[in-house]
RNA sequence: GGCCCCAUCGUCUAGUGGCCUAGGACGUCAGAUUCUCAAUCUGAAAACACGGGUUCGAUUCCCGUUGGGGCUGCCA
């Protein structure tokens, strides 16, 4: 007996930004396809003409590719079961609608076409939640039937979703738990059409940190931002980190691993391990993970990813200094500012911390004359020079280190001091020491 | 309101009746790194929602309560 080849699909609606929860759904589908050697299909559910936009479609395609979730069949790719836009499949839906009418499963009412829902409860054999049997709600008790073709002739979600899953030979439907309540309708449709339904796996939702629903239209703008994948791209998260973090939301490798290569995840991922409980999105942990990925990657890749975040080119030697420190690429400008701007702005908080006035000026001037005579301009030699000066004055090196950092970078935090000085070069360091002594010396 | 799903540290999770004085990670706090830091290292505090059962024994099984989430559109 040969197992049926797995065919899964991600079926977004191009009506806005790509939701981070949708991304996780796409990821789980993709992982399952890769784990089983199956096929990952992208299908665009654009039956609601009024709400679809081309930009939104672009966002979906780019977003999936950014994460490395390439589809095997779908837009810009083709495949044997196209077209992959529901707006182009009207003839197919019509065929199925006619079949339902002929077999007496559908009838017209108020200009729309309604599906005759079975009166007895339907059990969903869900791979994650187990068998789920729904009792009829108040509404359903009054009238369990539902619309499958609108008055304007457009077929609705429940119908097209099922028809396409049939036509595209979908074997497993992995989707958000918000669809669990819809599933009996879909099962009834399959039954009426005389087709064996796919297996269902409803995955838990991703919620905000406060447990509320992640919504792109949340009245709180900071929450609304977090719901969109675009935010993470813009803030300088790297795809591997976002993907890794998402893998750990609702799925667990069952050991203590946090950072995993995608190959490892593909190897271990399977439906039975998916958790039943909703998970909250912890952007802080994602940020930590992003820093881990940034530090672990090659300098070349770091430079490549950094490029869009830098107003002007920055030498690799400088990027190397901040690569180990930074967590988000969007913070790059302020971390490398010392290397690309001569007009250093002094951070008030840093000035407060280090101090100002004649005492500071004296230290900076001493430093300047010390560095002016340093023969070899290297991190090691500079460290040696600074420490000699401190010893001469009978103070701790820190007494000179902090003012020096402030003078050359304007900040209290940043890369290690001596490599920073080395990268800057003698001339710029001396200029900055003099300027800082003047500006902060009063 | 009705229906459905869910419930271990603040968060993500390990745990499928005794190995649990409940493990890991993020975050937090405290030290260390006699240069900062959102880096690194070390350590600490921190959880089985509640009430009934079942059992020799429950975080683990059952029921209820409470709490959270979802659905309840001629949206998807």
Q: Provide the pLDDT for residue A1.
A: 41
* Pairing mode of beta strands A206-207, A279-280: parallel
**Contact, A391 CB vs strand B, < 7 Å:** no
Instruction: Tell me the CA–C1' distance in angstroms for A273 and B18.
Output: 25
Burial letters A234-269, b for 16+ CB under 10 A, else e = ebbbbbbbbbbbbbbbbbebeeeeeebebeebbebb
Q: What is the ipTM of this complex?
A: 0.95
- Cα torsion angle, A232, A233, A239, A241, sign: negative
Instruction: Tell me the CA–C1' distance in angstroms for A177 and B75.
Output: 17
pLDDT in tens, A417-437: 999 999 998 999 999 998 988
- Cα torsion angle, A282, A294, A238, A234, sign: positive
- Quick one: A192 exposed, middle or buried, by C-beta within 10 A (0-12, 13-18, 19+)? buried
CA distance A181 to A196: 19
Residue A46, Cβ neighbours under 10 Å: how many? 20
Number of H helices, E strands in chain A: 20, 11
* Pairing mode of beta strands A172-176, A199-203: parallel
Average pLDDT over residues A63-77: 97
Q: Are A66 and A27 in contact (CB under 8 A)?
A: no
Q: Check whether A13 has a pLDDT greater than 70.
A: yes
H or E segment and range at residue A8: strand A7-10
H or E segment and range at residue A207: strand A206-207
Q: How far are the Cα atoms of A353, A377, A392 from residue A403, in angstroms, in the given order?
A: 10, 19, 17
Q: Provide the pLDDT for residue A3.
A: 58
pLDDT in tens, A339-369: 888 888 888 888 888 888 888 888 899 999 8
Task: For each of the domains in chain A, give its residue range(s) and CATH number, in order of start.
Answer: 7-207 (3.40.50.620), 299-340 (no CATH), 348-440 (1.10.10.350)
Cβ within 7 Å of strand B: which of A 288-347? 288, 291-292, 295, 324-325, 327-328, 331, 334
Q: Check whether A213 has a pLDDT greater than 90.
A: no
Residue A404 φ then ψ, to 5°: -65, -45
CA distance A236 to A287: 10
Q: Check whether A391 has a pLDDT greater than 90.
A: no
- Of A216, A223, A323, A363, catalytic: A216
pLDDT in tens, A379-389: 888 998 898 88
**Contact, A208 CB vs strand B, < 7 Å:** no
pLDDT in tens, A122-138: 999 999 999 999 999 99
| A78 backbone φψ class: left, alpha, beta (φ>0; ψ -120 to 50) | left
3-state secondary structure of A378: coil
| Cβ within 8 Å of residue A242, ≥6 positions away | A23, A67, A229, A232, A286, A290
Please provide the average confidence, as pLDDT, over all residues in chain A.
92
A110 closest-nt by C1' vs CA: B74
For the ranges A234-238, A290-294, A352-356, the lowest mean pLDDT is seen at A352-356
**Long-range pairs, A380-384, Cβ under 8 A, ≥24:** A380/A418, A382/A418, A382/A421, A382/A422, A383/A418
CA distance A188 to A185: 5
Q: How far are the Cα atoms of A161, A243, A389, A399, A433 from residue A372, in angstroms, in the given order?
A: 74, 50, 13, 19, 11
Query: Can A387 be counted among the known catalytic residues?
Result: no
pLDDT in tens, A156-165: 999 999 999 9
What would you report as the CA-atom Rg of chain A, rounded to the nearest whole angstrom?
30
CA angle A398/A400/A402 to nearest 5° reads: 65
pLDDT in tens, A263-278: 999 999 999 899 999 9
| pLDDT above 70 coverage of chain A, percent | 99
């Amino acid at each position: 007996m040969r197992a049926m080849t797995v065919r899964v699909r991600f079926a977004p609606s191009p009506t806005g930004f790509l939701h981070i929860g949708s991304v996780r759904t796409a990821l789980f589908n993709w992982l399952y396809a890769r784990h089983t050697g199956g096929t990952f299909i992208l299908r665009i559910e654009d039956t609601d003409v009024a709400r679809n936009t081309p930009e939104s479609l672009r966002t979906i395609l780019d977003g999936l590719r950014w994460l490395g979730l390439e589809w095997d069949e779908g837009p810009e790719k083709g495949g044997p079961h196209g077209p992959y836009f529901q707006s182009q499949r009207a003839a197919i839906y019509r065929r199925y609608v006619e079949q339902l009418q002929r077999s007496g499963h559908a009838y017209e009412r108020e200009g729309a076409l309604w599906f005759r829902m079975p009166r007895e409860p339907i059990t969903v054999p869900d791979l994650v939640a187990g068998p789920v049997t729904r009792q009829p709600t108040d509404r359903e008790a009054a009238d369990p039937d539902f619309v499958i073709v609108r008055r304007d002739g457009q077929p609705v979600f429940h119908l097209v979703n099922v028809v396409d899953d049939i036509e595209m030979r979908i074997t497993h439907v992995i989707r958000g738990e918000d669809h669990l309540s819809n599933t009996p309708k879909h099962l009834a449709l399959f039954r009426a059409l005389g087709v064996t339904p796919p297996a269902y796996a409803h995955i838990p939702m991703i919620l905000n940190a406060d447990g509320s629903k992640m919504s792109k239209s949340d009245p709180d703008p900071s929450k609304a931002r977090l719901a969109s994948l675009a935010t993470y791209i813009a803030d300088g998260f790297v795809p591997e980190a976002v993907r890794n973090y998402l893998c750990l939301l609702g799925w667990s490798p069952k050991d203590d691993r946090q950072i995993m290569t995608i190959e490892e995840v593909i190897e271990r991922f399977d439906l039975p391990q998916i958790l039943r409980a909703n998970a909250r999105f912890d952007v802080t942990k994602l940020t930590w993970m992003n820093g881990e990925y940034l530090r672990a990657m090659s300098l070349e890749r770091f430079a490549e990813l950094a490029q869009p975040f830098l107003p002007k080119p920055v030498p690799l030697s400088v990027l190397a200094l901040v690569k180990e420190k930074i967590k988000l690429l969007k913070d790059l400008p302020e971390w490398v500012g010392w290397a690309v701007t001569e007009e250093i702005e002094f951070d008030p908080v840093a000035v407060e911390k280090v101090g100002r006035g004649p005492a500071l000026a004296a230290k900076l001037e001493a430093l300047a004359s010390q560095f002016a005579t340093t023969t070899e301009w290297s991190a090691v030699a500079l460290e040696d020079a600074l420490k000699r000066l401190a010893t001469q004055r009978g103070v701790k090196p820190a007494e000179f280190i902090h003012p020096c950092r402030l003078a050359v970078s304007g900040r209290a935090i940043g890369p290690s001091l001596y490599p920073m000085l080395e990268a800057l070069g003698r001339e710029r360091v001396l200029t900055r020491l003099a300027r800082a002594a003047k500006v902060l010396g009063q």
